[in-house]
């Protein structure tokens, strides 16, 4: 396992439509293990492959509980359907530095995907788990949570980011 570098907005790979996975091989397993390690080190609760510079349809989502630390689910080629209800809650993103904002999401979703071996997965997700999956699947479509904010909030963030990046130079 190895840590990978998390790319940050406005890196163009975050805007790429991720390619579906067709081969379930060791390279994919290594990518997933690296992504999980990178997510926990950050620390974060979800990570999409675009965020480590790989525009392929893979996400990892934390499922740790008090009893089982560092447990995560891998979703390959995930699809969301049957969104129900709506909840507005705060989100952040490892690829969008110093930005937290309220985003509206479905409260409940149906998810179909493959696991890292290529086996089909199908389940319902609710609340926080559903929110993370929606956020990560957005990444695979080249969408960031800031795209879901008002244009005013987005403009303010872009201004703030410009200042932060200038200060870092």
- Choosing from 27, 84, 122, 136, the catalytic residue is 136
| Active site annotation includes 136 | yes
The secondary structure of the chain as a DSSP string is ----PPP-TT-GGGGSPPBPP---SHHHHHHHHHHHHHHHHTT-SEEEGGGGT--BSEEEEE---SSSTT-EEEEEEEEEEEEES-EEEEEEETTEEEEEEEEEE-SEEEEEEE-TTS-EEEEEEEHHHHHHHHHHHHHHTT--GGGGS-HHHHHHHHHHHHHHHHHH-
- Determine the size of the site formed for Ni ion (CB under 5 A): 1
The answer to whether residues 96 and 8 touch, using CB atoms and an 8 Å cutoff, is: yes
Residue 59 sits in the site that holds Ni ion (CB under 5 A): no
For Ni ion, which stretch binds (CB under 5 A), given 26-34, 89-97, 113-121, 124-132?
89-97
The CB-of-139 to Ni ion minimum distance in angstroms stands at: 6
Closer Cβ to Ni ion, 28 or 52, answer by number: 52
Closer Cβ to Ni ion, 102 or 119, answer by number: 102
The CB-of-108 to Ni ion minimum distance in angstroms stands at: 21
Residue 99 sits in the site that holds Ni ion (CB under 5 A): no
Single out the residue of 28, 52, 76, 93 in contact with Ni ion (rule: CB under 5 A). 93
Tell which positions 128-167 bind Ni ion, by CB under 5 A: none
Catalytic center residues: 136
Which residues make up the interface to Ni ion (CB under 5 A)? 93
């Amino acid at each position: 396992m190895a840590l990978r570098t998390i790319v940050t907005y406005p890196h163009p790979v975050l805007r790429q439509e991720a390619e579906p996975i067709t081969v379930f091989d060791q390279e994919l397993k290594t990518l997933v293990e690296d992504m999980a390690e990178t997510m926990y080190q950050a620390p974060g609760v979800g990570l999409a492959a675009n965020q480590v510079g790989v525009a392929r349809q893979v996400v990892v989502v934390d499922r740790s509980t008090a009893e089982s630390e560092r447990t995560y689910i891998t979703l390959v080629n995930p699809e969301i359907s049957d969104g129900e209800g709506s909840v507005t809650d705060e989100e952040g993103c490892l690829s969008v530095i110093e930005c937290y904002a309220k985003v509206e999401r479905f409260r409940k979703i149906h998810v179909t995907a493959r696991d890292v071996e290529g086996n089909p997965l199908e389940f319902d997700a609710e609340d926080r788990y559903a929110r993370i999956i929606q956020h990560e699947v957005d990444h695979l479509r080249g969408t960031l949570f800031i795209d879901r904010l008002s244009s005013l909030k987005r403009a303010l963030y872009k201004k703030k980011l410009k200042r932060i990046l200038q200060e870092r130079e």
